[in-house]
């Protein structure tokens, strides 16, 4: 699968490296769907990308502490304000929101309004590990060509509670129905691990790469 832009090359997606998350797996998945990739925490290199992917595995407060120490919080907000497509995967999706109650609480990036809370499983075991059906609630460029039902692989104990319903693009269920795919403007996220989710996960990432390609083409011609 190849995806070129007005500049002649495939879009370059930077996987944000703050030391948490399966960065290599994400990098390989993006390459499979036609992106050029780099794993980096260098601000100049991140600014030169056509899109940013924020991975995440671990605890929200620890992740935000490292992101803040590296100055990546301000860089992500700057790039978001510039219109660059940004995608958060698993805990990376949670970091896009304003606050999490995990481990006593911590402030997030605030790119999307809402709070991260523990999943109410009603007796089911935590963490939620496995394949869950995703039901798309509204059309989005991120779900283009994906026909229900699709299944994505999840590993998590916390979920985002967006402040606005229209941010919720797709939902899944494990004890309660939760936001599993979100998007607003140029900011997107999936509670799952798309890189571990076979054809459907790769299709989700391919749609994000296409958005990055469109953004680069618009910048190239402006």
- Running DSSP on this structure, what letter comes out for residue 128? E
Mean pLDDT, range 59-67, rounded to an integer: 96
For residue range 112-143, list pLDDT tens digits in order.
999 999 999 999 999 999 999 999 999 999 99
Residue 2 forms part of a structural domain: no
Residue 90 forms part of a structural domain: yes
User: Phi/psi of residue 113, each to 5°?
Assistant: -80, 135
Q: Is the pLDDT of residue 189 over 50?
A: yes
Q: Is the pLDDT of residue 21 over 80?
A: no
For residue range 35-48, list pLDDT tens digits in order.
999 999 999 999 99
Residue 162 forms part of a structural domain: yes
CATH of the domain at 22: 3.40.50.880
> Do 188 and 88 meet the contact criterion of CB atoms below 8 Å apart?
yes
Q: What is the mean pLDDT of the chain?
A: 94
Residue 55 forms part of a structural domain: yes
Q: How confident is the model at residue 6 (pLDDT cuts 50, 70, 90)?
A: very low
Whether 90 is catalytic: yes
Given the residues 102, 154, 193, 212, select the one marked as catalytic.
193
Residue 6 forms part of a structural domain: no
Whether 154 is catalytic: no
Number of domains the chain contains: 1
Residue 3 forms part of a structural domain: no
Whether 212 is catalytic: no
In the numeric block, which tokens belong to residue 180?
């599993």
Cα–Cα distance measured from residue 42 to residue 142, given in angstroms and rounded to the nearest whole number: 27
Q: How confident is the model at residue 12 (pLDDT cuts 50, 70, 90)?
A: very high
Given the residues 27, 90, 154, 156, select the one marked as catalytic.
90
Residue 222 has a pLDDT of 60
Short-list 105, 50, 116, CA closest to 79: 50
Cα–Cα distance measured from residue 105 to residue 89, given in angstroms and rounded to the nearest whole number: 20
Residue 176 forms part of a structural domain: yes
Q: Which domain holds residue 73?
A: 12-221
Residue 7 forms part of a structural domain: no
Given the residues 27, 102, 115, 195, select the one marked as catalytic.
195
Residue 3 has a pLDDT of 54
């Amino acid at each position: 699968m190849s995806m070129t832009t007005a500049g002649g090359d495939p879009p370059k997606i930077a996987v944000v490296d703050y030391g948490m998350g399966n960065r290599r797996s994400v990098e390989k998945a993006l390459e499979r769907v036609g992106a050029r990739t780099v794993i980096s925490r260098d601000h100049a290199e991140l600014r030169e990308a056509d899109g940013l992917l924020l991975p995440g595995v671990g605890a929200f407060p620890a992740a935000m502490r490292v992101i803040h120490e590296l100055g990546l919080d301000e860089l992500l907000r700057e790039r978001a304000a510039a219109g660059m497509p940004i995608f958060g995967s698993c805990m990376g999706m949670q970091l896009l929101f304003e606050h999490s109650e995990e481990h006593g609480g911590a402030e997030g990036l605030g790119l999307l309004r809402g709070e991260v809370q523990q999943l109410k499983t009603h007796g089911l075991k935590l963490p939620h590990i496995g394949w869950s059906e995703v039901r798309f609630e509204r059309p989005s460029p991120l779900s283009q060509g994906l026909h229900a039902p699709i299944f994505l692989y999840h590993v998590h104990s916390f979920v985002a509670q967006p402040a606005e319903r229209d941010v919720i693009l797709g939902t899944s269920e494990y004890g309660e129905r939760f936001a599993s795919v979100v998007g607003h403007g140029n900011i997107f996220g999936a509670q799952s691990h798309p890189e571990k989710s076979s054809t459907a996960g790769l299709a989700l990432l391919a749609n994000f790469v296409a958005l990055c390609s469109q953004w680069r083409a618009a910048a190239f011609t402006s």
